[in-house]
Amino acid sequence: MREKLEAIKNSALSEIESAKKLEDIENIKVQFLGRKGELNTIKRGLKDLPPEEKPVIGSLANTIASEIEEKLEEKYQILYKHAVNERLAAETIDVTLPGLSIPVGKKHLLTDTINEIIEIFQGMGFSLVDNISNPEVETEYYNFDALNFPADHPAKDMQDTFYTTVAPNVVLRSQTSNSQIRAMENTNPPLRVICPGRVYRSESVSSRKNNLFHQLEGFLVDKDVTFGDLKGVLNEFIRLYFGQARPTRFRTSYFPFTEPSAEIDVQCIICSGKGCRTCSGTGWLEILGSGMIDPNVLRYVNIDPEQYTGFAFGMGIERLAMLKYAINDIRLFFNNDIRFLQQF
């Protein structure tokens, strides 16, 4: 039994000496000191020895196990330091190299445009409507009925409006004018409010139209408000937004919630003639609709139209950005093409 223990010791020390990797140390430990290792096999055989030999052989086995453990730990530390040094050498950083430039995110062009428009109108005394009065998922009442839309108005058809399955007569709002009703319900005149947000329409996507886009609604209600006030506010906005007085035209139009109504066009700065996709070759680009608030709308929110008058306007954010920055395709705002976004 002594000879077997000495042979195990010599074999273990020899393998420890020749070990080259940390994995080798673990394998040697399992081979000689593991539960099924060679030393434990000897210890399990002690029961078959004469009583006088058991303590001697047991003590020798424990001494050899301790010596092997000590040598394993010494070799492990040597190999570990060697592995660390190799890794440090492989991962050496040259601190004299120039640093890497990490791109910093910026606001989307539409966000910047919305913020700029808000700032202009706030400078003219308009306040920003709160989110409670500005829901994107809306009832037909606020999206159509309270805005004086007749029951059979074509805008209510499925081909123009996205109806939801949330509940009967619940839609994705087709204009931000719903905020006009909600704000007037909760606040007495005088009112001077703007409301930006997303709107949804069942449109065929093209260079000029998308089924998701952004609008900004604004309205003013007070005593003795006239169409001249509306024209003055909008012309001043156009001057401040474009940085100069640009040619505009007011065209007679129709909206159920305003009377009289007008659409405002700005001269197209992208136009290259009949082939211009942005303005369809007309030389003009519509940027907003407007008009005097219909008395029926005021009655819906319990404002006396004999005492108060007001005007309202709604503008397409994408249209304004397209005109200001000479962008000829509305889809560019939503394609997330970094080459386009980095220009702004």
177 lies in the same domain as 326 = yes
Higher pLDDT, 151 or 300: 300
Cα gap 110→66, rounded to integer Å: 74
Residue 175 · residue 217 · CB < 8 Å: yes
17 lies in the same domain as 56 = yes
303 lies in the same domain as 211 = yes
Residue 155 · residue 174 · CB < 8 Å: yes
Rounded mean pLDDT, 27-40: 74
47 lies in the same domain as 161 = no
Q: Does 210 fall in a domain?
A: yes
Question: What are the tens digits of pLDDT across the range 265-281?
Answer: 888 776 655 567 667 77
Q: Does 99 fall in a domain?
A: no
216 lies in the same domain as 248 = yes
- With 70 as the cut, is the pLDDT of residue 46 above it? no
84 lies in the same domain as 150 = no
Q: Does 100 fall in a domain?
A: no
Cα gap 179→133, rounded to integer Å: 5
Q: Does 97 fall in a domain?
A: no
Higher pLDDT, 253 or 104: 253
41 lies in the same domain as 118 = no
Tally of domains in the chain: 2
Adjacent-strand bridge partners of 312: 219, 291
126 lies in the same domain as 38 = no
At 19, is the pLDDT very low, low, confident or very high (cuts 50, 70, 90)?
Answer: confident
Q: What is the pLDDT, as a whole number, of residue 225?
A: 92
Question: What are the tens digits of pLDDT across the range 240-269?
Answer: 998 876 788 899 988 888 889 999 988 877
Q: Which of 110, 156, 164 is nearest to 137 (CA)?
A: 164
195 lies in the same domain as 236 = yes
Cα gap 141→66, rounded to integer Å: 87
Residue 155 · residue 202 · CB < 8 Å: no
85 lies in the same domain as 191 = no
241 lies in the same domain as 181 = yes
Angle subtended by helix axes 109-123 and 317-325, to nearest 10: 100
150 lies in the same domain as 203 = yes
Could you list the residue range(s) of the whole structural domain that residue 50 is in?
A: 2-90
At 44, is the pLDDT very low, low, confident or very high (cuts 50, 70, 90)?
Answer: low
